[in-house]
């Protein structure tokens, strides 16, 4: 791989990186209709959804993520948003809220669904993921489901926007170079589908 470009938010001052929740909500709602997966979902991909929970603390937006348990078969130890496979008859919103409750004990009724980001595909786990953004009334009381979640993380948007947190790498694949995004937070590296979701949300 080779180094990629700077983040779309490189021009922001430190003060401008302290983003309130309302600004996040406005940006998500201004996206309009979410874009489908370019070229469609890969063959056999299973419908999935994740919840992108955001709340305000000390005047700035904070996101809730999880670190997946080490004993899981796929994506063990990785940082992700709560989510999982869509069950028959479920909408993406229902899936995201159900999975968040199962993984973190987040009360579905406390979530105000405010929008949807672009769908994306993962090839390692063959999933087609719909990210659902939900506003919480404040810092939630959460409990990690030990079978799936090792830890619950509260990460401020300003930390993700910090100049030392983000990097882009261009990885070479048979069809050419493709950008991969990484966010370095204390104790963890966020990458893969979660980093792609964050990249769109922060952009």
Provide the pLDDT for residue 76.
58
pLDDT in tens, 88-137: 999 999 999 999 999 999 999 999 999 999 999 886 667 889 999 999 99
Distance between CA atoms of residues 163 and 131, nearest Å: 25
Provide the pLDDT for residue 39.
65
Distance between CA atoms of residues 102 and 96, nearest Å: 10
Provide the pLDDT for residue 174.
82
Distance between CA atoms of residues 200 and 122, nearest Å: 16
Which residues, including other chains, have CB under 8 Å from residue 98's CB and lie 6 or more apart?
Answer: 87, 90, 108
Provide the pLDDT for residue 63.
98
Provide the pLDDT for residue 124.
64
Question: By C-alpha distance, which of 88, 72, 92 is closest to 80?
Answer: 72
- Residue numbers in the chain where pLDDT is lower than 70: 39-42, 70-77, 123-125
Provide the pLDDT for residue 155.
98
39 C-beta neighbours (distance < 10 Å), count? 7
């Amino acid at each position: 791989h080779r180094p990629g470009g700077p983040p779309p938010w490189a021009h922001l001052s430190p003060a401008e990186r302290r983003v309130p929740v309302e600004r996040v909500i406005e940006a998500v709602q201004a996206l309009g209709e979410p874009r489908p997966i370019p070229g469609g979902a890969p063959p056999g991909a299973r419908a999935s959804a994740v919840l992108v929970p955001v709340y305000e603390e000390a005047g700035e937006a904070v996101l809730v993520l999880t670190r997946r348990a080490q004993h899981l078969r796929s994506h063990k130890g990785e940082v992700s948003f709560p989510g999982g496979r869509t069950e028959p008859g479920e909408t993406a919103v229902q899936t995201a809220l159900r999975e968040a409750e199962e993984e973190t004990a987040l009360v579905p009724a406390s979530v105000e669904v405010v929008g949807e980001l672009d769908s994306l595909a993962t090839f390692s786990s063959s999933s087609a993921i719909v990210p659902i953004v939900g506003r919480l009334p404040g810092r939630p009381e959460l409990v990690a489901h030990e079978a799936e979640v090792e830890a619950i993380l509260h990460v401020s948007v300003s930390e993700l926007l910090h100049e030392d947190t983000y990097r882009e790498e261009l990885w070479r694949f048979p069809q050419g170079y493709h950008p991969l995004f990484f966010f370095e937070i204390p104790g963890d590296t966020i990458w893969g589908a979660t980093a792609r979701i964050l990249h769109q949300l922060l952009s």
